[in-house]
Amino acid sequence: MDHVEANARKHFSTGTINGNTLYMGAANKKLYAFNIETGNLIWEVETEDWIRAQPLVSKKQIYVADVSGTLYGFDKKGKLNWTKVISTHPIYADMAITDDKIIINDSNLMSFCFDFKGNKIWEHSILSAYKNEEGERIFTDQLSGGTYYQSKPTAANGTLYFGNPAGFLYGVDAETGKEKWKFEMGGAISVGPAIMDGKVYAGQQGGERFFYCLDAETGDLVWKQTVPGGWVWGSATVNDGLVYVPTVNGYAVCLDGETGHIIWMFPTAKSVPAEPAIDGDIVYFGSWSRSLYAFHKKTGEVLWKANGVGLDSGTLISQNGKIYLPHHNNIFMSFNSKTGKVLTEGNTNAEDKGNYTNFNASPAFHDGRGFFTARVGIGLKGVPLTSKVYCVDAETAKVHWTFPDGGGLSAPALANGRVYVGSGNYPYLYCLDQKTGNPYWIYKMGTRIEESTLCIYRDKVYALSGDGYIHAVD
């Protein structure tokens, strides 16, 4: 074998035996035919992308689907008979043959049926849905917990980085969206990749115990380090050659950015869900134990601890000697970053913030104003049905204006006097005026944004939607 894909967690698909031949796909974009008696290679053919699905065999043909969403039909000597692009979403799952038909499921939760010539017989949404007059799939059911398209896109040096629920971290051209590389981890990637000194740092959701460092240009592995519990939900923060990792197992961890060696770690009582913040020599971690910790960033010494502070999806924001955090009931709380003294409890006025309002997304600040999003209303079994954007005074949390949709668990992003925010309830991305909240434009995606945060890079806004696409909007 002339090439083994080092960025893959496993190289080969499950094999299929037919007669004296074993057929196997591989992550090096090859389909192989081996003699099962001798192990000798009979032939190999190349496909467009990695092959994860088990090859299928009929009397005359071999069928294989790759991660690009393409289905192939080869004869038993390896000659290509036909190809069919059946989806713009990856195909990972094994296929099936029944009654001279091929059944395929893609990662967009669509099921397809093809005949042996590659002609589509039918397609069906795995989740309950219908098609509207424009041909769009409208769900009448929801996947519990969402589809895990939660990774925050991050961009640097012309490359956009993001993860997906299948455990792939991608580097794509920020201008064209063309894939440069992908790297496979052991679980869903919900973090925003962190970038420092030509390296990308990211963890995964518990399929293994590793936190990864990759070469930002090539996607090649630089190092991987075992972290407590292995499950990383929040993004890492990088600073001065160090990597600060929040773990679901409850540890605040500091790694050396060059080697991956553990510099220090500290156990909190419960999960550390959100991205840490840094101010000078202090790094701040929030915990599900309802505690906020301030550590010396190089030694891990606890400088102060504040109790009774709930932090979940939203991260801490450090500016002007203060630490701001989204507070579930009061829009936000702020602390003196050096001492931990509470500076404001936020806004407790029910008329201002609304009833059944949960502020649980990262805020953004500019020009004396804070921009927050909230899930609003009780909804079905406690799941809110709407979300809202708030512009408030950064000192008092007095509400300047609100917008009736946007965010919820996704944070706003600011640039050029505008607020960009994706809806957690509807398939819309909004551009609002920072001073008035009036919309400049509204962009429609395939479905809502889950917990992914927008990325503004150069002249574009990047949004990872629950439809499985990165949307680049001018």
CATH number of the domain encompassing residue 445? 2.130.10.10
Run of H or E including 444: strand 439-444
Does 246 lie in the same domain as 120? no
Kindly state whether residues 311 and 428 are assigned to the same domain.
Answer: yes
295 occurs within a structural domain: yes
Name the stretches of the chain with pLDDT < 50. Answer: none
> DSSP class of residue 454?
P
Interatomic CA distance for residues 294 and 434, integer angstroms: 32
| Rounded Cα distance, 66 and 234, in Å | 31
The predicted pLDDT at position 61 comes to: 97
Domain final residue pick, 103, 138, 173? 138
pLDDT of residue 146: 62
Sign of the Cα torsion 457, 462, 464, 469 reads: negative
269 in the same domain as 129: no
Q: What are residue 430's phi and psi, to 5 degrees?
A: -110, 145
- Say if 416 falls within a structural domain: yes
Is 20 inside a domain boundary?
Answer: yes
A 10 A CB-CB count for 441 gives 11
Same domain flag for 443 and 297: yes
Residue 383 carries which DSSP code? B
Q: Which of 138, 161, 189 is the last residue of a domain?
A: 138
Q: Which residue has the tokens 């038993």?
A: 76
Assigned token pair, 141: 């059911």
Q: Among 311, 364, 306, which residue's Cα sits nearest to residue 335?
A: 306
- Give pLDDT, residue 346: 82
Residue 131 and residue 139 in contact, taking contact as beta carbons nearer than 8 Å: no
- Is 429 found in the same domain as 293? yes
Closest CA to 8 of 168, 184, 180, 208: 184
Structural domain ending residue among the three candidates 102, 119, 138: 138
Residues 125 and 267 in one domain: no
Phi, psi of 374 (to 5 degrees): -145, 150
Number of helical (H) and strand (E) elements in the chain, helices listed first: 1, 46
User: Residue 378 has what pLDDT?
Assistant: 63
- Is residue 149, in this structure, part of any structural domain at all? no
Which among 145, 125, 242 has a CA at the least distance from the CA of 190?
Answer: 145
254 found inside a domain = yes
Q: Is residue 71 part of a domain?
A: yes
Same domain, 257 and 124: no
State pTM to two decimals: 0.94
Of 219, 160, 221, give the one whose Cα is nearest residue 192. 160
Range of the domain at 444: 242-473
- 302 with 450, same domain: the answer is yes
Of 339, 52, 58, 249, the closest CA to residue 168 belongs to 52
Instruction: Say yes or no: 255 and 123 in one domain.
Output: no
Asked if the structure places residue 198 within a domain, the reply is no
In 268-309, the DSSP E strands lie at 277-279, 282-287, 291-296, 302-307
Give domain status of residue 79, yes or no. Answer: yes
Q: 253 and 131, same structural domain?
A: no
Give the CATH number of the domain where residue 96 resides.
2.40.128.630
Residue 134 sits in the same domain as residue 250: no
**Whole-angstrom distance, CA of residue 55 vs CA of residue 64:** 5
- When divided into structural domains, the chain yields a total of 2
pLDDT, residue 390, reads: 93
- Give the pLDDT score at 331: 81
| Residues 250 and 365 grouped into a single domain | yes
237 Cβ neighbours under 8 A, 6+ residues apart: 194, 243, 244, 275, 276, 277, 278, 283
